[in-house]
Structure 1
Amino acid sequence: MASLTFCAWVNPAFWSHAPVDHTWVTSYDSRATPYSDIGDVIAAGQINWYCWGDFHVDGNPPDPIAVQSGSGTLAQCLVEGNAESNGNPAAQGTIFTYGVDGVCHQLANQVLYATGSASQAPATVKNARGYGASSFLYGTYGLQHAAWLAKIQGCAAQATPLSGLPMKLGETRLGEPPMPELRDDFADRARTVLGDDPERLSALLALRGNVQSYLSTAIPGFTPPTAEMLNARNQHLLDQAALLLEPAQFQALFGIEPGERIDLVDPTMAGEPRSGDAPTS
C-alpha cells in the first residue's frame, strides 16, 4: 500500500462530565470530501479507523488535530481500518478491552504510529481534550506493552521500506528489526510543566508508574468491570495526582481543575446503555 496522509480528528464526547474528545483517524480530509457513510469511504478506496467509536462524517471542530504522512501498509497491519472496533479484534490494535487497556486516544495513536520515520516522530492525538488524563492512566499506546511491541515487530516486517520506521540505534539480532522508539507524551508534558520542580516531577512520574502497574493487573471476577466502575477508579487515581501538584500545575497537565470529574470510558463502547439522548462517541 502506498504512502498515505493520515488525518486525526476529534468530536466532543458528550457522555463525560468534563471536556473530553473522541478521536479517530482517516486517510482523507473530510473537510474536502465528507463521505456520508463507511460504504462511500470504501468505494472511494479510502480508510476510516473507527478507534473504538462510531463513524463520523467530519470532525468537530472541523480541522484535524494532526496531519502527517506515513505507511498505509503498516497502519492497516497495526489496526484494521473500515471496520468497527467492537467485535473486530483486528480493528482493536492492542486495545483489546476498551476502558481497561486504553480508550480511543490510545487506539488512534496506534494507527498514527505508522506516520513515524527516521526523521520525524509519529504523530499522536496529544491535542485532544482529555488526553492529559488518558495518557496519565493508559500511556500513549495503551497498557498492553508487550503485545504492542510484538505487534509492531510483526507488522514492521510487512512495511516497506523498513528503514522508514522510527527506530532506536543499538545492537539487534541478525534478521530482526531494531526495537521501535515509543513516545511518552505524558512524561514529555510533565517535564515541560514541572521542569523547575524536579521533586514534584519525580514523585508524579513515580505515581504514574505505580498507577499503570496497578491498571495492568487483571480485575478479578466473572464479569468485566462496568464503565461506571472504570471511570470511578480512574477518577480516584487522578485525584491522587492532584494531591501532589499545585492547582495550576494540575490544570496545565490534565486540562481540568483538581477534583473535577472526568469520564474517559464511554458506556456504549463498553457494551452498556447510555442514559439520556447524548450523541454517540
Structure 2
Amino acid sequence: MVQPVTLFAWAIPAWDSESPVDHTWVTSYDNRIHAYPTITEVVGDHQFFWYCWGSFHAVGGTPVNKSGALGQQAGDLAVAQCLVRPNLDSRTTSLARGTIYHYGVDGVCHQLANQVLYASGGGGSTPLTVHNARGYPLSSFIYGTYGLQQTAWSAKIASCTAQQLVAGPGRPEGLTMARDEPVPEPDEFEKRAVALLAGDPAKLGRLLQLRAEVQQFAARAWPGHGQPSALALNARNQDLIDEAARLLGPDTFRQLFGADPAAKVNLVDSHIALSAGEIPPPKLR
C-alpha cells in the first residue's frame, strides 16, 4: 500500500570552500517552515531526515541558493524508508547507506540522496534528483545518478518495489524495466552531454567512451584492506575530471560541468571518510 509523502531535497556548501560542490540530503518536511533544531525533535514530530552521508542540518542554504531547496515531489514513504533508512546517521548505520556502502568509492551524498528520491518516481513520473546541486554534473560523471553498485541497486529496487530492473550492459547507469533484451536508457549526465554536443558527434562519442572507462575504473576494488583515504579518492577523481577537461576544452567543459576546469574539486569529505572507516594517509615525519 502506497504511503504518500512529499520528499524535499536540500543543499549546503560542502566541506571545502575551494571546491564548487554542495552537500545534499532529503527530508519529509519543508525546513523553511519547520526548522527542527535536532534529530530528536524530527523523530518526536513523526517526521523523517535522511542524512545521506552527512551531519544533521536544520536548514539549507548556499551562496547561489538562499534556502538550499533543490526541489520537492510526492513519493512513497514506505519505499523511501526501505531504500534508505531515515533518522539514522549513515556514518554509523549501514541501513542508512542504501547501496552507497563505501563513501567516496560507491558514490557520495548526491547519489545517496537520489536513492531516497527514487521513491518519488511512482505513477510513471520521473524521480526527483539533486541535479541542481553545485558539483552534481561532476559527481554524476564519475558515480552516475545512483552510484556504482548497480547490481545491488537494481536488487534493492526489486526488493522495495514491484519493479524488476536490470543494469544495462556497457552503461552502468542505465537501469530499465526487465525484459528479454533490455535497452538501457541514458542517464542525466548522458542526456546533458547529448544536448550540448549534438553538433559534434565525434567528441560526444569520445566523451561517453571516456565516461564508461571512468566508471569502470572507479568501480575497481582498491588494493589492500579498508576504505581508501579521501586524499586518494579526491586525487583519483581530479585526474578523471582533468581528462574530461582536456578532451572538451575549457568553454565546453564549463557548459557541461558548471565549473571552471582549473578549479580544485573535492567530491569526498575527509571527515566523513574518516568516520566511515577509511585508511588515513601516512603522517609525514
TM-score by length of 2: 0.86
Structure 2 contact 145–187 (Cα < 8 Å) conserved: yes
Letter in 1 for 2:196: V
Superposed displacement of residue 223, structure 1: 3.7
Could you tell me how far apart the structure 2 residues matched to 1:113 and 1:234 are?
25
Paired amino acid for 1:146: T
Aligned 8 A contact 1:16 1:263 in 2: no
Who is 2:51 aligned against?
50
Residues in 2 aligned to 1:118 and 1:86: alpha-carbon distance in whole angstroms: 33
Shifted more, 72-81 versus 62-71: the winner is 62-71
CA 1:182 to 1:10, structure 2 compared with 1: closer, same or farther past 3 Å?
farther
Contact 2:12 2:68 in 1 (8 A): no
Q: Give the deviation of 1:196 after TM superposition.
A: 1.4
Counterpart in 2 of 1:25?
Answer: 26
The TM-score, its normalising length taken from structure 1, stands at 0.87
Partner secondary structure for residue 91 of structure 1: helix
For residues 168-215 of structure 1, give each alpha carbon's deviation from its aligned partner in whole angstroms, at most 9, with x where no partner exists: 56648xxxxxx9x87711111111211211111111011000110011
Structure 1 residue 37 and structure 2 residue 38: aligned? yes
> Per the alignment, do residues 125 and 249 of structure 1 end up closer, same or farther by CA in structure 2, a change over 3 Å counting?
same
Secondary structure, counterpart of 2:124 in structure 1:
coil
Pairs within 5 Å for 1:8-157: 8-60=9-61, 61-157=66-162
1:189 aligned to 2:169?
no
What is the rounded CA distance, in whole Å, between the counterparts of 1:171 and 1:189 in structure 2?
26
Match in the other structure for 1:218: 221
> Aligned equivalents of 1:86 and 1:19: distance in 2?
23
Correspondence for 1:200 among 195, 198, 203: 203
What does 1:264-279 align with in structure 2 at a 5 Å threshold?
264-271=267-274
* Cα separation, 2, equivalents of 1:201 and 1:142: 22
Q: Which runs of no fewer than 5 residues in structure 2 stay unpaired?
A: 164-174, 277-285
Distance 1:191 1:183 in 2: 9
Please identify, of 19-28 and 217-226, the stretch whose mean Cα deviation from structure 2 is larger: 217-226
- Structure 1 unmatched runs, 5+: 159-166, 173-178, 274-281
Cα offset, 1:259, TM superposition: 2.9
Structure with the larger RCO, 1 or 2 (CA within 8 Å, 6+ apart): 1
AA in 2 matched with 1:190: A
CA contact (8 A) 1:18 1:256 kept: no
Q: Taking structure 1 as reference, are residues 205 and 10 closer, same or farther at Cα in structure 2, changes over 3 Å only?
A: same
Residue 140 (structure 1) shift = 0.2
In structure 2, the residue matched to 1:176 is none
> 8 Å contact 2:7–2:27 — kept in the other structure?
yes
Look up the SS of the partner of 1:40 in the other structure. helix
Query: Partner letter of residue 77 of structure 2?
Result: G
SS of 1:68's equivalent in the other structure is: strand
Q: Which runs of 4+ in 1 moved over 6 A?
A: none
Q: Please, which moves more after superposition, 86-95 or 256-265?
A: 256-265
Counterpart mapping for 1:222-241 below 5 A: 222-241=225-244
Q: Is it true that 1:252 corresponds to 2:252 in the alignment? A: no
Task: For residue 2 of structure 1, report the CA deviation from its aligned partner.
Answer: 2.0
The aligned counterpart of 1:3 is: 4
Counterpart amino acid of residue 100 in structure 1:
V
SS at match of 1:118: helix
Cα 1:121/1:234, change in 2 over 3 Å: same
Please state how far the C-alpha of 1:66 moved relative to its aligned partner: 1.2
Q: Secondary structure at the match of 1:187?
A: helix
Give the letter for the 1:91 counterpart: A
Which amino acid in 2 is paired with 1:88? T
